[in-house]
Amino acid sequence: MKRKYTGLRAWLVQRVSAVYMFLFIVFFLVHLAVDPPRQYPAWHAWITSPAMSIATAAFFAALLAHAWVGLRDVLVDYVHAMAIRAALLGLVGLSLTGMGVWVVRILWTQHG
Amino acid sequence: MRFSIFRYSPERDEKPYMQAFDIEIQPTDRMLLDVILRIRDSQDDSLTLRKSCREGVCGSDAININGRNGLACVTPVRELKEPVELRPLPTFPIIRDLVVDMTRFYKQYYSIKPYVINDEAAPAKERLQSPQDREKLDGSYECILCACCTSQCPSSWWNPDKFVGPAGLLQAYRFIVDSRDRATRERLDDLGDPYRLFRCRTIMNCTEVCPKGLSPSRAIERIRLTMLNVHGDEGGLALHRVPPIR
């Protein structure tokens, strides 16, 4: 997509990520309702299985991208002083990145 | 009926105020504009407003009526909740009373190049257009540029200089789908950045208050799909019933 279409790209990211998150959540809830892992080892095995790892990682990537686009839209709407907006956007970006790192730690490392 | 009308004259007043008027509704009073003019002529002739065609086609008398934008000349007066609050179009600079400065609004309209761009050799008589192609303009050419939509759009409130606004974008759509126009790529390129079109959050205030029953939000969605090369409904935009102002 050409550089001058950054608005379209952000809009698309928000919608595609929303669709994926919806499908993932539905699948997740149905799985918990139909075949729930009853102890921690079963849960851990399910969540860290290759398919679920990829799907879950994609879910959180979608969530962070979606949240970034949403929060950036809010700041662009309401904060017109560029210096303040840049600072707030940096804060939001840092927070979301931190949350992303935290998710990885919790789900896929021993430190979780 | 009781009316509460926004008054502000920069030369005379320090700040705006609401002035109350009581007037007997006569059998000949059908629309709000009839009553405003009788108030002006019988009680306070300094009351200032724009009006012209008195039939809903010029767009001059667009004002905020009980919180919703509309044309005074086609708003039935008897059904309005009292006291009827009349204000100028929201967030537009005020010249006097109900008269606002439309410069910003027109500037956004001009910025989308509201004319057919076609550098091909001019035909002997005219650039032909089939009835099917002409139908694609339905639901967008009827805009009277009254600014009810744009002044009710929160995205226009927050970024009036950068967001084109519903009226401008509806006209952008009108030229994008015009079969005689050859600048479609340039028109779409112009609207791809985060501001000109993509401040729109599909709030749909525009569609709700359009006194001509037009749907700028539908047009904006179609522009987005056109940018993605997704071809959905290619026909004109349907007009919708205008929700009455109460």
pLDDT at A112 > cutoff 70: no
Q: What is the model's pTM?
A: 0.93
Q: Say whether pLDDT at B60 is over 80.
A: yes
A chain contacts of residue B199, beta-carbon cutoff 8 Å: 76-77
Contact B19, B7 (CB under 8 A): yes
Q: Which of B153, B188, B198, B229 to mutate against chain A (most A CBs within 10 Å)?
A: B198
The pLDDT confidence band at residue A80, using thresholds 50, 70 and 90, is: very high
Task: Calculate how close chain A gets to B180, using CA atoms only, in Å.
Answer: 25
Asked if the model's pLDDT at residue B178 lies above 80, the reply is: yes
**Sequence ranges of the domains in chain B:** 2-100, 103-227
B198 and A7: CB-CB below 8 Å? yes
HEC assignment per residue over chain B? CEEEEEECCCCCCCCCEEEEEECCCCCCCCEHHHHHHHHHHHCCCCCCCCCCCCCCCCCCCEEEECCEEEEHHHCECCCCCCCEEEECCCCCCEEECCEECCHHHHHHHHHCCCCCCCCCCCCCCCCCCCHHHHHCCCCCCCCCCCCCCHHHCHHHHHCCCCCCCHHHHHHHHHHHCCCCCCCHHHHHHHCCCCCCCCCCCCCCHHHHHCCCCCCHHHHHHHHHHHHCCCCCCCCCCCCCCCCCCC
B interface with A, Cβ–Cβ < 8 A, is 155, 158-159, 189, 191-199, 201, 224, 227-228
> Which CATH code, of 3.30.460.80, 2.60.40.1180, 2.60.40.10, 1.20.1300.10, is assigned to A3-108?
1.20.1300.10
Mean of pLDDT values over A38-58 = 93
User: Stretch B51-56: mean pLDDT, rounded?
Assistant: 97
Q: Which residues contact A74 (CB under 8 A, 6 or more apart)?
A: none
Q: Mutation test of the interface with chain B: which of A11, A13, A15, A73, choosing the one with the most B Cβ atoms within 10 A?
A: A11
pLDDT in tens, B197-235: 999 999 999 999 999 999 999 999 999 999 999 988 788
Q: What percent of chain A has pLDDT over 70?
A: 97
Residue A4: pLDDT over 90:
no
pLDDT at B127 exceeding the cut of 70 = yes
Query: Rounded to an integer, what distance in angstroms lies between the CA atom of residue B180 and that of residue B130?
Result: 10
Mean pLDDT along residues A42-51: 92
Tell me how close the Cα of A75 comes to any Cα of chain B, in angstroms: 11
* B2-100 and B103-227 share one fold: no
Burial code (b: 16+ CB inside 10 Å, e: under 16) for A78-100 equals ebeeeeeeeebbeebeeebeeee
According to DSSP, residue A79 is labeled -
**B194/A76 Cβ within 8 A:** yes
* Averaged pLDDT, A54-82: 96
Q: Domain residue spans in chain A?
A: 3-108
Task: Give the pLDDT band (50/70/90) at residue A111.
Answer: confident
Lowest mean pLDDT among A3-7, B121-125, B184-188, B212-216: A3-7
* pLDDT of the residue at B11: 94
Q: Report pLDDT for B100.
A: 98
Of the candidates B158, B192, B199, the beta carbon closest to that of A5 is on B192
As for the ipTM of the complex, it is 0.88
Q: pLDDT exceeding 90 applies to what percent of chain B? A: 97
Nearest-CA distance A69 → chain B (Å)? 11
- Amino acid B231: pLDDT: 85
**pLDDT value, residue A3:** 72
| pLDDT score recorded for residue A13 | 97
Q: Average pLDDT of B34-40? A: 97
Confidence band of A107 (pLDDT split at 50, 70, 90): confident
Interface test with A, best of B197, B227, B230 (most A CBs within 10 A): B227
Q: Is the pLDDT reported for residue A2 higher than 80? A: no
Give me the CATH code for the B2-100 domain, please: 3.10.20.30
Among A7, A12, A78, select the one facing B194 at the smallest CB separation.
A7
- Within 8 A of A8 by CB-CB distance, chain B residues are 192, 198, 224, 227-228
Give the Cα separation of B112 and B135 in Å (integer). Answer: 21
**pLDDT score recorded for residue A28:** 96
**Pairwise pLDDT comparison (A110 vs B223), residue with the higher score:** B223
A67/B246: higher pLDDT: A67
DSSP SS3 for A41: helix
Q: In the prediction, which pLDDT does A1 show?
A: 63
pLDDT for the residue numbered B47: 97
- Give the per-residue pLDDT at A108: 84
Q: Which secondary structure element, helix H or strand E, spans residue A31, and what is its range?
A: helix A6-34
CATH number for the region B103-227 comes to 1.10.1060.10
Cα A16 to the center of its chain, rounded Å = 12
Q: What is the structure's pLDDT at B17? A: 97
